[in-house]
Structure 1
C-alpha cells in the first residue's frame, strides 16, 4: 500500500514539472520591478517570441504598467497583446518596434508617455482609450503605416510632433474636448488630406502642419484668436483654409509660401479677407448660419419637450444638430440651463440627474449667434397609454373616449389629443370627439392620445364615421329631375304612371327612403317610388331619408291630359319684308 502511494506521488510530481517549468519560463521572458503598491512594472523583454502576450500577473503580482523603454528596439516583434489592468504605458515603451503590426492599448490605460510608439513603422491601427487627456510629445511619431487612429473624447492635448510623420492616415476626427495642438503636431505627414479643428481648440503650435504634402483642406477652430507663422509651410497641395471671424490676428510669415493653389475662405471684412488681399490669394466669402435644428435620431426635435425617465436604467438621450446653410463649422456648442437636473456634453448627449425641467441650447459656433433649444423633463415617465370607446359613429354625433395611463407612479398622466382627420372627427382636450355635420364618405379616423411628459408614449383608437344624408336627388323614368322640379303624368296615355328613383347624398350614406303622396286621390306612390296618376290635379311626393338625418325632398306631380301633338297651319312661303299669320 505504501509502495502504491509512493508511485502515485512520483507520477504527480512528473506531471507537474512541465507546468511549473512553463510558468517559470514565461515569467523569465519579462523583467519587472515592483512599485510602491506591490504591482509589477515590466522593465524589459528577453524572450524570443515574435508575438508576445503580456500576462495579467508576474510571480503573483498584478501587472499595471509598461515601464520606460521596456520593449524599445525589439525589431522582431510583430504583435504585442497587453492585458486589461494596465494603467500606464511609459516613455519610449515600444519605441523602434519597427515590425510590430498590432499593439492593443487596453481600455484601462490612463497615461501614455512621450515617444511611446515612435518609429513603429508597421503599426496599422490604434485606439487611444477614454480617460486619457493628453498625447504627450511624439507618441506616434513616424508611424508610417498607421491607417486607423481613434482618439478619445476626453483628449485635451496633442503634444509636439505626436502625430507627425503619419503617411497612411487619410482621415482623423479630433475630439471636441481638444484644447491644444502642439508644435509640428501633424508635420511631415503624407496621408492626411482634410482636417476640421474643433471649436474647443484655442492654441495651435508653430509649424503644426509643416510638410503635410497631401493636405488639401483645413477648417480652423472658432476658439482661436490668432495664428502663428509657418502653420502651413511645405503644404504644396493645400487648396482651402477656412478662417473663422474670431481670428483677429494672422501672422502671414511663411503661411502659404509653399501653397500655390490655396484659397482663403472667411467672412467679408474679416482678418482673413485682409490677409488674403495682402498676400494676393483668392478669397471666398462664407455665408453665416441662419438656422439651427436639434435632431433626435432623424426627428426634428427643435422646440419640443423630451423626457428622461428616472425609473429607467437608461437616463441619456443622444441629440445632434443640423445647421443651414452649409458651413465649414457645422458643429454647435451645447449648454444646459440647469445642469444639475439635465446636463449635456460636447456631443449632444443629455443625461438626466434629478427630477425637474431644463432647457438645452445648441448655439452655432460660426459667430452668427443663431441657436435652437429643446425642453427636457426628468421625471417618472409614462410608459403606456390605452384609449377605449365606441368604434363606430355617425355624422353630427359625439363620442367620449376613456384613457388609461401606466404606470400608476408616473408623475404626469395628462395627455394631448390629435385626430388624423380633424375635418371629419375633431377631438377636444377632454377627449370628447365630435363628428362633422357633413361627412362625404365612410371614413376611418385615428384618434391619438399622447403623454405630455415628453416620453413620446401614445395610444391610438380607430373610429369609423358614417355619413348622414344631406340631400336627395331624383330620376323619373331614368331622367334627372331638377330640385323642386315638376313631374307630369298623362291620363290620356295607356299607362299613366312614372317610376321614381331616389339617390341619397352622399353615396356612402344609407340609401333607404320613404315615399309619401300629399293627395292619394290624385296620385299614389308605392314603397319603391312607383307613382300612379288617378285623376286631374297636383300632388306633392315627399321623400324622407331613413338614416336619422331628417333630410327630406319634395317634388310636384301634375296629372292631366297632356298634349300629344301640335299642328301648325298657314302659308309655307313669305315675301321678303312681309309677314304671315300661323295657327296651331
Structure 2
C-alpha cells in the first residue's frame, strides 16, 4: 500500500526496490454514478546494475568555428540499465553542459564534465573539455631577420599568432620549389647544395587549431658566399675635413657576389656605414671616439669581416701667446711661446714658424719647441711668430708680434700722492670713509720707470700688469689710461702686496705693501665700579670699549671740565691707561668730562661726564622729620610702622650716592633719591630684626651698618 515494487527473482541479479506514487482521479458518469479509476505504470526489470560508464576522455572546442560538442556515454555491462545519464561541469565560465550531453564553449580554459549513470549505481566518468581562442592572424619572422639562405645552409623560421590566440602552433610547408628546400615542423628551413641558379621560394605557416589562418614569406635562395674580404681593416677619420684625414671614405669588398651585407656598428655614436654600390660601403665619422664595424653575410654562411674605425677631432681653433703674457723681449732674453688648441683635439702639437723668416731671423731665433730668443739690436724691432697644427688640419694661428726693446726698464718707482717712495706702505680701512679718517677705502698710485739709458719713462709707454697677493684684502679696482691705479680695500682685514710688473722684457717689479684694517666705529666709556662719582683722595679706573672687530682698539684719554675756574692739573689727573685720580686736597664739588679717542686714525670719540666731591668722613641715618641734623640715629633702633629715613654724610657737599644692602628679615627696605637726598623706605613685616649696610659710591668705600628691630608691626 506504500507503492513499493520489489524484484523477487534472484536470477535477475541484485534485488532492487522502486517507490512509485500512484495518481488517482474521479470521472463523473451520470448513468453509473461516481467510480474510482486507477492509473497504471509499466517498469522494465534489467538483470544487472551498471558497473562502468564510458565516454570521450577529452573534447576540444573553440570560440569561433567549433563552439559546441556532444558527449556520447555508454554503460557496461551491455545488459545494464542505459536509460539516462546526469552531467555536471566543474567550471561553467569555460564550458556549459546540457541534459542531452551537449557541451557549449563559454571562455578560454579547461573544465571537467562529470557523467553519472542514472540507474542508482552512482558509476561515473569524466571528460576534459579544452576551450581555446582560434588564431585570427599569423606572421613569420626569421633568425637575425635574414630573408636570404645560401646553398647547403639552414634558416630558422618562426611563426607568431595574434596575442589573443590560445596557441601559436603551426604546420610548415614549402609552397613552391619544394625540391630546392625543405622545412620541418619546428620551422627549420634547409636549402640543398645544388640548386642550379638563384631563385625565390615561398614558405607557408598554417595555424594548427583548425582556424585555417595562414601566412607566407618569400625567401631568396642563392649560392653561398665562400670568401669575404675588405680592402681596409683600419680607418682613421676626422670630425671635419682635414688635409690628413677625411670625414668619410669608402671601403671595398670582394667575394660578396654583389649581395648586401648586414652592418653591425659597436658604437653608432662614433661612425655609421651603409651600402653605396654592390661591393662598396661608405663609412662616415660622427664624433670623436673608437668603434668597430662588422660586415656580415646574410646567407647563413657566417662569413664576416671587421673594420676598426678611429675618429679624431682635428685642431679647429689655435691661438698663441707668451708664457709671461708679455709681447716685449729684451736683447739676449728668451721667452717660451705657448699654443692653445680646442679642448677636444686629439693632437695638440704645433710647428713654430716666423711669418717673415728672412727678416725675422735677423733679430731672433725660434726653436722647435717654441723658445724665442732676442738678438742684440741697434733699435727697437718687431718679429712675427705663428703656429701650425701638426695633425694635418692645416689650422694656423694668427701671427703674434714680439717687440724687441732696445732699452728695457732698469727700475720701477711708485708715486703715492706727492710722495715718491721706493718702499711705499699705506693703510686702508674696510667699509666707507669715516669722518676725517685719513686711511680711506681706496686711493690712487702712479708708477714710473727708469730705462737702461737712465731716462724716466712713464708706464703708459710700456706694457705692465698690476696684481694683488690677496684680493680679499685689497684689489686693483681699475687701471686708467694714464696708468693711475685705483687700489681698493676688500672685505677682509689683513696685509696684501700690490705688485707692478713691467712687460717690456725687463720683468722689472715694484711692490706696494697695503695694510687693511677694520676701523673703530664706536666707543663706549664705563667705570670699573659702574659709578660716575669720585671723592677727593680716591681713584677710579675708566674703561673704553671699541668696536669688537676693530683692528686697533687703543684709545687716547682726555680730561676737561666745563667749569673754567677749576685748576684740573692741580686737583684731578687722568693717566694714559684711563685711571682717574682726585687729589685729597680738593674741597670743592665740580663736574669733569672724560673722553676717549680711537688711535687708529678713525677719530671716533666718546665722552662721559663725572662729578667730583669733597671727601666725607662719616655716613649718618636720620628719621625724616623726626631728627635734626647732628642728631643721627644709634646703630640699633626700632621701627613699628612704615617710616622714611634720610642718608646724610658728615659733609653737606659730599657725594650723595650710596649702595644699600640688607638681610631679609623683619623689615623690607626700598631706596629712592629725592633731589640730592638718598632716602630709605622701611616696611615692618614681622617681629624680628634686619641688618642694613650703607656704602658710599664715591670711591672712599665708607660704610655704615644699622640693626633695625620691630616688635609689634602694624
Task: Give the TM-score of the pair, scaled to structure 2.
Answer: 0.35
Structure number with higher strand proportion = 2
Larger radius of gyration: 2
